Amino acid sequence: MKVNPLGTKKKARKPFFLCVVPSKASFSMHSILVNHFLHGAWYPKGGAGEIAFHIIPVIRKAGGNVFGKAPVQTILLDAQGKACGVSVKKGQDLVNIFAPVIISDAGIFNTYERLLPAEARALPGKMSQLRMATHGEGGFTVFVGLNGSREELGLEPTNYFMYPGNDLDEIMNRYLASSREAAAKNIPVIFVTCPSAKDPTWETRHPGKSTLAIVTFTKYEWFEEWKDEKVKKRGDDYEELKKTFVDTIMQVVFKLYPRIEDRIEYISGGTPLTNQHYIASPKGEIYGIDHTIARLQAEAIATVRAQTAVPNLYLTGQDLCLGGFMGALQGAFICASAVLKRNIYVDVARLKKRTQANDAKKKD
């Protein structure tokens, strides 16, 4: 869907892009994305935190463990140059955790440029993979807390992509080429979603309250001068620039949901520096590396693999496959297949057949 500046909703003539302008987007990638959503999508009951809540017991049952607030400082290598563990920071101490296989979901830039020891950063195989990757655009997010139920505020369990025209290449390129002050007042693309309206348990847990999540894209360079300042202490100029982005975004959102304008209890904006701080995005990107046509050429796909030049070290996640949740999940399938040396997709296909057969017996 598209919403023009006057707030009138109508179907878009061109597809929205996943952080890639149409002229640089792969037709195959777009087809896969559209096909995935043709029959709808899913939202976890209780919110995204339920994913971790249910996965952690499975990991522990299999003999693994999960550590919170323990950022990885470096990947450990043995005398032969093989990955043998990670060093994590727990409080003020460094703790070494050893394992026969190391899998990195930190992204290709973090893995190769930050986490590998200096002696392993110049490996030819690593450099060939890194040359195939470029940073994606930085993300800007707005989270809104509202006083009012979904029905009161007219909110929908729908994702809206809002932009002022159909020439997405022109409006996006003009935006990215402008100064940060001009860009903050002329944001061309906004994604709006209502997580509380999607969650069937929300009203029971938080009666009379609602939420919105809004995303657009910005250049990391517009905020880079504050990168060395502490979070929440970046000064008035940074806060003023961030507020301008938030205000511009919200004026568009009010045209979509006019009843929310006087019902905002909480609003918070996040810049690429916010993403850098909380999720360790090298340039504040939310979809990992740039998934342009160049990234999806045969040579790039063959080069950027789960296997790395460092024995026992593997890559997973959206940098390995495609951006977004499902892209990251496919990256996990590819990585698991490489580690286990068998095609996990075949295992899933067999599991699906067994599940369907069991379901059919229950119906009988």
Domain-located, residue 254 = yes
Q: Which amino acid is at 163?
A: Y
144 with 27, same domain: the answer is yes
Domain-located, residue 56 = no
Per-residue pLDDT band for 38 (boundaries 50, 70, 90) equals confident
Angle at 272 between CA 52 and CA 51, to 5 degrees: 10
Supply the CATH number for residue 128's domain.
3.50.50
For residue 15, give the nearest of 213, 253, 26 by alpha carbon: 26
317 with 250, same domain: the answer is no
pLDDT exceeds 50 at position 7: no
pLDDT exceeds 50 at position 277: yes
Domain-located, residue 59 = no
Tens digit of each residue's pLDDT (9 = 90 or more) over 128-180: 888 889 999 899 999 999 999 999 999 999 999 998 888 889 999 999 999 99
101 with 212, same domain: the answer is no
29 with 152, same domain: the answer is yes
Q: Which of 2-6, 10-14, 256-260 has the highest mean pLDDT?
A: 256-260
- Which residue among 279, 300, 322 closes a domain? 279
- Which residue among 247, 279, 311 closes a domain? 279
How far, in Å, CA of 223 to CA of 241, rounded?
9
Per-residue pLDDT band for 18 (boundaries 50, 70, 90) equals low
Task: Quickly list H helices, 92-226.
Answer: 108-109, 124-131, 150-153, 168-177, 180-184, 195-198, 202-205
How far, in Å, CA of 140 to CA of 176, rounded?
13
How far, in Å, CA of 261 to CA of 147, rounded?
11
How far, in Å, CA of 112 to CA of 118, rounded?
10
Q: Which amino acid is at 130?
A: L
- For residue 289, what is the DSSP state? B
Which of 8-17, 205-214, 342-351 is predicted least confidently? Answer: 8-17
- Which residue among 279, 306, 329 closes a domain? 279
Question: In this predicted structure, what is the pLDDT of residue 121?
Answer: 79
Q: What is the mean pLDDT of residues 70-98?
A: 95
162 with 32, same domain: the answer is yes
What is the domain range of residue 125? 67-133+288-363
Q: What is the mean pLDDT of residues 85-109?
A: 95
97 with 184, same domain: the answer is no
For residue 90, the cross-strand partners are 93
251: which residues sit within 8 A by CB, 6+ positions away?
Answer: none
At CB < 8 A and 24+ separation, what contacts does 1-4 make? 1/158, 1/160, 1/161, 2/161, 2/162, 2/163, 2/166, 3/160, 3/162, 3/252, 3/255, 3/256, 4/164
What value does the mean pLDDT of the chain take? 90
- For residue 176, what is the DSSP state? H
203 with 347, same domain: the answer is no
Per-residue pLDDT band for 362 (boundaries 50, 70, 90) equals confident
Query: Are residues 243 and 251 in contact, defined by beta-carbon separation less than 8 angstroms?
Result: no
293 with 275, same domain: the answer is no
318 with 266, same domain: the answer is no
Helix axes 324-340, 344-363, angle to 10 degrees: 110
How far, in Å, CA of 282 to CA of 163, rounded?
27
More confident call, 33 vs 80? 80
231 with 171, same domain: the answer is yes
98 with 196, same domain: the answer is no
10 with 147, same domain: the answer is yes
- 0.85 exceeded by pTM: yes
For residue 266, the cross-strand partners are 145
Domain-located, residue 124 = yes
Which of 40-44, 112-116, 119-123, 337-341 is predicted least confidently? Answer: 119-123
How far, in Å, CA of 282 to CA of 137, rounded?
11
Task: Quickly count helices (H) and strands (E) in the chain.
Answer: 14, 12
Domain-located, residue 119 = yes
Q: Is 276 exposed, middle or buried (0-12, 13-18, 19+ CB in 10 A)?
A: buried
Domain-located, residue 121 = yes
Domain-located, residue 61 = no
Q: How many domains does the chain have?
A: 2
Domain-located, residue 262 = yes
